[in-house]
Amino acid sequence: MDPARTHKKVPVAELNRSACLGPDGAVAQVTRCLKMISGRWKLPILFRLYADGMQRSSLLLRDIPDISQKMLTQHLRELEADGLIRRTDFGEKPPRVEYRLTDRGEGLMPVLLSARQFSEDYDQLA
Amino acid sequence: MDPARTHKKVPVAELNRSACLGPDGAVAQVTRCLKMISGRWKLPILFRLYADGMQRSSLLLRDIPDISQKMLTQHLRELEADGLIRRTDFGEKPPRVEYRLTDRGEGLMPVLLSARQFSEDYDQLA
DNA sequence: CCGTATCCCAATAGATACTG
DNA sequence: CAGTATCTATTGGGATACGG
């Protein structure tokens, strides 16, 4: 134990001091998660797909207020590259493409629920 | 029920379709949470304070690699404005100022733990 | 219907130098 | 030691027009 740091604060088991720091510590892990969901339209898209299941891009474009064609496609690409959603091109004419959450995407929901809970508790605290 | 949307996907109780959307829905709540922790140095600072308890700014500056004086102060101000940390000026000479997590700040930890868990599970999935 | 390519603007962050 | 002030670089987002 570093003698220069004798704090009374006891870190919880899952998040002790050594687990927090360093290149592959908690900071890096959380940062990676946050990067996947950072972007103006990531959350609206993810929640839409979670609520609706597989969905055509034209419907996403219609149901997400103020999003543009370009931004929709761009964010869909990023989410796909991160393995959170899967793209299915039916190869029809006129074009029909649908998106849905992957297992990884579903695995993100507890994080979002947790963040939502924090936000609700926040107003109660002070 | 909208006839154009007959999906088999059943939303969980805490996160059903009506709770996801709209101006005060889950998207807005999660977004607010994310805004509080978005910023290059927010996580390192929060984890530091969580692990170490009350801490002088000079020690934060020393222990967080690559952070500059300016960025440290700037992010500390933002975290304070969001009520996640508390600043204590001891009014001594030479100056001594310390920071620590508030109850709101502590309440953020479950979110960060959840995100960390997701990041670990992520590699196992595919 | 679905996607791409350009160009532009605002927000964020970093380097550096300075003050009580 | 703790904090501020400028200036500049980079990034993310948006408007618009075009293509398969």
CA-CA distance, B72 to B67, in Å (whole number)?
6
What does the pLDDT look like over A31-53, one tens digit per residue? 999 999 999 999 999 999 999 99
- Considering the domain boundaries, does residue B34 fall inside one? no
- The model carries a pTM of 0.87
Residue numbers of the domain that contains B106: 40-125
What pLDDT was estimated at residue A23? 55
Does the distance separating the beta carbons of B15 and A119 come in below 8 Å? no
CA-CA distance, B59 to B53, in Å (whole number)?
12
- Considering the domain boundaries, does residue B65 fall inside one? yes
Give yes or no for residue B2 having a pLDDT over 60: no
What pLDDT was estimated at residue A93? 87
- Considering the domain boundaries, does residue A50 fall inside one? yes
- Considering the domain boundaries, does residue A3 fall inside one? no
What does the pLDDT look like over B28-59, one tens digit per residue? 999 999 999 999 999 999 999 999 999 999 99
In chain B, how many domains are there? Answer: 1
Give yes or no for residue A4 having a pLDDT over 50: no
Please report which confidence band the pLDDT of residue B126 belongs to, taking 50, 70 and 90 as the band edges: confident
Protein-proximal nucleotides of chain C (any atom < 7 Å from a CB): 1-6, 12-18, 20
CATH code of residue A99: 1.10.10.10
Give yes or no for residue A89 having a pLDDT over 90: yes
- Considering the domain boundaries, does residue B62 fall inside one? yes
What pLDDT was estimated at residue B24? 62
- What the block records as the tokens of B38 is 């978005």
- Considering the domain boundaries, does residue B79 fall inside one? yes
- What the block records as the tokens of A77 is 């690409």
Report yes or no: B81 at the A interface, CB cutoff 8 Å. no
- Considering the domain boundaries, does residue A22 fall inside one? no
Does the distance separating the beta carbons of A83 and B126 come in below 8 Å? yes
- Identify the residues numbered 47 to 106 in chain B whose C-beta atom is closer than 7 Å to any atom of strand D: 56-58, 61, 69-70, 73, 76-77, 87, 89, 94-97
What pLDDT was estimated at residue B13? 47
The DSSP-derived string for B34-92 is HHHH-STTHHHHHHHHHHH-SEEHHHHHHHSTT--HHHHHHHHHHHHHTTSEEEEE---
Best residue of B1, B2, B29 to probe chain A, by most A CBs closer than 10 Å: B29
Give yes or no for residue A5 having a pLDDT over 70: no
- Considering the domain boundaries, does residue A15 fall inside one? no
Rounded distance in angstroms from the CA atom of residue A98 to the C1' atom of nucleotide D6:
49
Rounded distance in angstroms from the CA atom of residue B70 to the C1' atom of nucleotide C19:
14
Whether the upstream peptide bond of residue B110 has omega within 30° of 0, thus cis, is: no
CA-CA distance, B105 to B126, in Å (whole number)?
33
What does the pLDDT look like over B59-109, one tens digit per residue? 999 999 999 999 999 999 999 999 999 999 999 989 999 999 999 999 999
